[in-house]
Amino acid sequence: MLVSLHATMKRILLTLFLIIIISINIVIKNVIFFDSYTSNKLDYSYDISEKASTKLRIAASGTFVRSLNYPEKKLTMEESNFLLQDIISTSKLRIAGFGTSVTYGSGLDNPEKENYLKLLSDESVNYAIRASDPSYPGMCTQTIVGNSIFDVIIIEYERRYSDELFYLVQRLRKRFPASLIIVTDTWHLSYILVKENDKIYFFPSWMKENGFKQITSEFLDFMKNSSVEIIFSKQLDMREEFMNHLAQVFDVKIYRWERHVNDFKKLLLQNLVLFHRDGIHLSKEGHAFFARDLRKLIQNQTLPSINLGSWGDGDLCLLWVDNGIVTFKPPSNTMIEKFDKRKNKFALRLSSNGTIMSIYNPFDSPRVLSFWFMATGPNTTIYPKTEISLFNQEPIHILPLENSYNYPVHVQLNKIIGTLHPGNNSVYIKPQEISEAPFRLVGYAITNGKKFPSKMFERPMKLS
């Protein structure tokens, strides 16, 4: 009996010893994660006494404010890996992202694998478009998403957020009533103002004024020793108010970076590690930071019902400028051509004789047809004036000239052509003159006509 009791006590003591060892190991890892940041590149050190905060505090219903008391030094590879190792549990969720070049991953060595969406889940779908805003996704949401089902949708847009973003979120919420939708409300250096000698500069302009084009160790030393005053643009106040309204109307969550602090300079120096050298896009550490925070917001999300809502009036958008793929047989006197071999740009090329194009409206009521076509500018165009008309409708005259730039550009424009009736419609396209280049059609959209792409989707390219 005593022998048996003695053996039992030994097992209990051994178990307690192992638990203590494991606990110490976990504590050590946490200390490494929060406090041991070293760098062989830039020195982001700044004299602060507080430890890194990792808490998201709830500021209002549905709004999560990220405390940015973040370590300033660049992470080693081991520390970056440790930062990401707790993101695995979200991989079963079906995640999609809409956004700009930030969400796309511009500035990363491997944007397709290192952007924050991929860090959340290898199966995530990235619908981000570089140099964009919410206007095109809001107009063509059904075409972009199709029949896919998502548990979590993350939306990142900093510009044209009022009308266009409202419409995009409205369509996504109507389609996915049970999904978690997160809209980001963060900032970058273009939203920061510098007061110096009674003058106010945007932060990037102030950098250039002092001989710095990018964030470097020399610039960090210069900034630490400067006596300038750092403030945030009031544009962020208006955006914050709109985002709060968005959360109330559509039951979305807002992921927001803090900015209401007493020491703006300290806040900025602490968080430059999150930005790419250009001060606009996220660094590799910034994407890890984003992913880790978003994981906390979505970790309790369960798979929603497959009972989806509708796409409303629907949309059908076809763009072949980037891939040359069309889902219809090119009409007579036309051909798909690669007109820019360096940038791999494609168009449906029309001969001077014109053509009749058959376009099918799949909806059970009339819809608005708009065309995307190539244009040049600002002073002259290489493309012909072209007349386009639908049966029994007034013809539209197109001059493929864009004069709102102050340098030569080659862009894609969008213009309403007319109303499509359900079923097949004949569209008559006839160039009105001989020109240097043929009329080039790069896409069309069938929508309710409420929204159209902004000028950001012209994708200006300087002519050589």
Beta strands in 37-179 (DSSP E): 56-60, 63-66, 95-99, 125-126, 152-156
Interval 243-253: pLDDT, tens: 999 999 999 99
Cα–Cα distance between 219 and 168 in angstroms, integer? 39
Residue 117: what residue type? L
Which of these ranges, 78-92, 203-217, 387-401, has the smallest mean pLDDT? Answer: 78-92
Residue 401: what residue type? L
Cα–Cα distance between 441 and 267 in angstroms, integer? 49
Interval 368-424: pLDDT, tens: 999 999 999 999 999 999 999 999 999 999 999 988 887 888 888 999 999 999 999
Q: Which of 184, 192, 215, 191 is nearest to 290 (CA)?
A: 184
How do the domains of the chain map onto residue ranges? Answer: 56-298, 316-462
- State yes or no: pLDDT of 118 exceeds 70: yes
**Is the domain 56-298 a CATH 3.30.1370.60 member?**
no
**Looking at residue 304, what DSSP letter applies?**
P
Q: What count of other Cβ atoms lies within 10 Å of the Cβ of residue 225?
A: 7
16 SS3 class: helix
pLDDT reported for residue 60? 39
Q: What is the mean pLDDT of residues 59-70?
A: 60
Name the superfamily (CATH) of residues 316-462. Galactose-binding domain-like (2.60.120.260)
pLDDT reported for residue 48? 25
By the 8 A CB rule, do 285 and 274 touch? yes
**Looking at residue 114, what DSSP letter applies?**
H
* H/E run at residue 381: none
By the 8 A CB rule, do 457 and 132 touch? yes
Cα–Cα distance between 64 and 23 in angstroms, integer? 30
Cα–Cα distance between 153 and 100 in angstroms, integer? 14
* 3-class SS letters over 340-377: ECCCCEEEEEECCCCEEEEEEECCCCCEEEEEEEEEEE
**Quick check: pTM over 0.85?**
no
pLDDT reported for residue 287? 95
pLDDT reported for residue 81? 54
CA distances from 171 to 166, 247, 386, 414 (A): 9, 14, 34, 22
Q: What count of other Cβ atoms lies within 10 Å of the Cβ of residue 371?
A: 23
Give percent of the chain with pLDDT exceeding 90.
Answer: 60
Segment of 15-29, 174-188, 300-314, 440-454 carrying the highest mean pLDDT: 174-188
pLDDT reported for residue 58? 37
Interval 251-299: pLDDT, tens: 999 999 998 888 888 888 888 889 999 999 999 999 999 999 999 889 8
CA distances from 192 to 161, 228, 462 (A): 18, 12, 29
Q: What is the mean pLDDT of the chain?
A: 82
Interval 137-155: pLDDT, tens: 999 999 999 999 999 999 9
pLDDT reported for residue 455? 65
Is the Cα torsion angle 403, 404, 408, 411 positive or negative in sign?
A: negative
- State yes or no: pLDDT of 125 exceeds 70: yes
By the 8 A CB rule, do 133 and 454 touch? yes
Residue 107: what residue type? G
Cα–Cα distance between 149 and 172 in angstroms, integer? 11
